[in-house]
Structure 1
Amino acid sequence: MKTMTLSVLGLVFAQAAHGQALSTQTEGSDWVVQVSPYLWATGIEGRVSPFRRGPTIGVEKDFSDVMEELELGGFLNVWARRDKLVFSGDLMFVNTNDSKAGRLPALPGVPPGLPVSGDVDTKEFMLTLQGGYRFYDTPGLTLDGLAGARYWHVSNELTVKALGQSRTFKESFSWFDPLVGLRAFAPINDRWSVQGQADIGGFGVGSDMTWSVLATVNYVVTDSASISVGYRVLDVDYEDDGHVFDTRMQGPVIGATWRF
């Protein structure tokens, strides 16, 4: 049960590779929209309790551990700007499965300490929406103030096999985190640029606290395409009604951006 929910968390969310080098090239009243599929090669450490009646588990996993359990994953960022107004949407879905054998804690209908085998299927969905205003705009630096929310939904299905019998337990939990943030972008030359973004939120509304920092180096390939590489850290501390999700995820990001 230890690896199951945790691996999903290891591939979570990141607003990676926005291709900001493209967005600064267009001014005026028309919308500029950028679509960025990406990968976040993250590890994870912290503690989680995927089931209300289960124990809180310490976890420390690198990216290779996470990938071993991955069944399906999708990551997409959309960025839009019109003059000084900016909008960002980030979508993540991950499905992992892991099998373990050992002695599980007491669950309904399962005696404590009984030797069992278990399969855990975990699905995690995260959606981040932010809007804001470009309050500083010069050829060498732009600054955007952002505000919005991040929605989390984690679903777990545990199939326990013992004494020739099989039982399935399902449980899910979700929450919203309000966010405020700042994004900075600076061109180096016509092709290269750097970008930094940070946000903080939760404030006891959903999680007790959450924050993230992203830094990327961007390269313009064509007038409508760019690539980005960088590094991201995401920390969240959620605990409610027996569910615990207190983790820090960090690792390199890589993505491609297309502008429309």
Structure 2
Amino acid sequence: MTRGLAAAAIALTAGVSASSAQAQDWAYKATIYAWLPSLDATVGTEFGDINASQGSGDVISSLDMAFMGTFAAQNDRLGFVLDYIYADLTASEKTPFGKLFTEAKVNPTVGALSGYMLYRLTTDSPVKFDAGVGFRNFNIDVTSTLTPGALAGRSISTSSNFTDALLAARVEAPISDRWFFNGFADIGAGTDNSSTWQFYAGLGYQIDENWSAQFGWRYMNVSGDTAGSTDLDLDLSGALVGISYTF
């Protein structure tokens, strides 16, 4: 999966590089990171909305599978970024819909591929500030399980795949010779009643010429309709730790 994302980014940036009159060397940065967010989920059902939640500690114990990585390319003031997350999460709500059921469990499997084209607005400054446009494609499968109460238990499965256009901004500012602040934010919407936004803020540490580490906080929201016009709203937030290699 990482090789596929890297190949796509290299092919895209190579085309831009060939047509640039002031082409410079491309710099690339590959990042693998761990993000184990708390989850707040609202899923519509025939009985009403399930409002389920799970803390970060519970996500660690219930996480079935996850992959998260970023590939970035920079040439002078022009930059491209691809970011991919895949996570299988679980959240729960006690005694939903009165006494009709004893518990509701929501199991969303979220795949999100984000792509950005960014332009550096700062030049003669140690602070790097970029702004641009992008997209985020979501592939979400949600299984809601209602355990027996006054009514018999049942399981409801829905899925959705949609893409939102994004406006994005990125900043990096040095704090000392090795420490730096970095942040990222985007917001967007699609034509199919979907919307998303996120932000990240954290500290980075330059280990050596090629390697660096990041520590921060990330929040992401996605809302839209699943198959069958079921309302879906997910809030993901939590600490993030990553390691990057620049070449």
TM-score category of the 2 structures, normalised to the smaller one: 0.7 to 0.9
Residues 39, 91 of structure 2: 8 Å contact kept: no
* Alignment partner, residue 124 of structure 1: 110
Residues 71, 97 of structure 1: 8 Å contact kept: no
Instruction: Give how far 1:197 is off.
Output: 1.5
Q: 1:32 is matched with which residue: 20, 27, 30?
A: 27
Instruction: Give how far 1:139 is off.
Output: 3.5
* Alignment partner, residue 65 of structure 1: 58
Residues 178, 205 of structure 1: 8 Å contact kept: no
The TM-score, its normalising length taken from structure 1, stands at 0.71
* Alignment partner, residue 136 of structure 1: 122
* Alignment partner, residue 179 of structure 1: 166
In structure 2, the gaps of 5 or more residues are 1-22, 149-153
User: 1: CA distance between counterparts of 2:146 and 2:129?
Assistant: 52
Residues 193, 219 of structure 1: 8 Å contact kept: yes
In structure 1, the gaps of 5 or more residues are 1-27, 105-112
Residues 87, 131 of structure 1: 8 Å contact kept: yes
User: 1: CA distance between counterparts of 2:50 and 2:144?
Assistant: 16
**Deviations for 1:145-189, whole angstroms, at most 9, x for unmatched residues?**
121110111124578999xxxx98653211111100111111123
User: 2: CA distance between counterparts of 1:189 and 1:99?
Assistant: 44
Cα gap change, 1:140/1:207 in structure 2, threshold over 3 Å: closer, same or farther? farther
Cα gap change, 1:168/1:188 in structure 2, threshold over 3 Å: closer, same or farther? closer
Residues 177, 207 of structure 1: 8 Å contact kept: no
* Alignment partner, residue 132 of structure 2: 146
Instruction: Give how far 1:235 is off.
Output: 2.5
* Alignment partner, residue 232 of structure 2: 245
Q: 2:210 is matched with which residue: 200, 224, 235?
A: 224
Residues 48, 243 of structure 1: 8 Å contact kept: no
Choose between structure 1 and 2 for higher RCO, CA contacts under 8 A separated by at least 6 residues: 1
User: 2: CA distance between counterparts of 1:29 and 1:149?
Assistant: 26
Residues 59, 90 of structure 2: 8 Å contact kept: no
Instruction: Give how far 1:29 is off.
Output: 0.9
Cα gap change, 1:207/1:232 in structure 2, threshold over 3 Å: closer, same or farther? farther
The total of aligned residue pairs comes to 222
The alignment-based identity, stated in percent, is 24
Instruction: Give how far 1:71 is off.
Output: 1.2
Residues 34, 80 of structure 1: 8 Å contact kept: yes
* Alignment partner, residue 3 of structure 2: none
